[in-house]
Amino acid sequence: MSTLTARSPFNQKKRLAIVQGLSVVAIVLLLFSRPGWNEASAVHELVEMSGLALVLVCIFGRLWSILYVGSFKNSRLVIGGPYSITRNPLYLFSTVGAAGIGLLFGSMIVALLLAACSFLVFRLTSHKEAGFLRARFGAEYDAYAARTPLFWPNPRLYREVGETNFSPKALGRTFLDALYFLAAFPAIEAVEYLQTTGHLPTLLWLF
């Protein structure tokens, strides 16, 4: 059996199941936790607005990335635009969004924990996918990997490569996925309201 047929793309359903499982655990914990500083304080508002900014960066970053990779993921080596500064911009921006959700909650601790868990999951996925792409594209991928970071971006490497044909279907799917990040804002506000009115008990305070 050849190297190419022996390898297959990383099971995305498995990755999604892990992320969704972590999300459920985080939601349950947040239901009974509150930020360490007063929700009406300027510090809390600043942290929340910073979180919203990161979530917006996540949404626009993912949409920007999908314009380049579209429906060609794992079938064509995309090396231009956001893929010229990191090999995994979609995972990078998702990690940024996870940190943003933590800040929307009003907690630096939650932001760091969510970002760290997302980074570990996506880092593992990135290594799995790199093995598949190396087997599929050979020397072409090796040259790309040699000059482009796996995860953390290097903006100085940015370049465009030819014309880009995007997939409206992939763009629409990514937009709907991104709405989950944006939906965290009203959801967290609703939890805050239930906590301040005494409908939800507070078991843990997190700064």
Domain harbouring 97, CATH code: 1.20.120
Strand partners, 204: 33
Q: Count of domains in the chain?
A: 1
pLDDT of residue 17: 64
Residue 5 domain flag: no
Task: For residue 101, give its domain range.
Answer: 41-206
pLDDT of residue 83: 95
Q: Is 11 exposed, middle or buried (0-12, 13-18, 19+ CB in 10 A)?
A: exposed
Residue 65 domain flag: yes
The distance between the two most distant Cα atoms of the chain, rounded to a whole number of Å, is 63
Dihedral of CA atoms 170, 172, 173, 176 in degrees, nearest 10, equals 160
pTM, 2 dp: 0.82
Residue 27 domain flag: no
pLDDT of residue 5: 41
pLDDT of residue 21: 66
pLDDT of residue 13: 59
Place of tokens 């999300």: 23
Residue 10 domain flag: no
With beta carbons less than 8 A apart as the criterion, state whether 31 and 200 touch. Answer: yes
- The tens digit of pLDDT for each residue in 151-174 reads 999 999 999 887 666 677 777 787
pLDDT of residue 109: 87
pLDDT below 50 — which residues of the chain? Answer: 1-6
Residue 29 domain flag: no
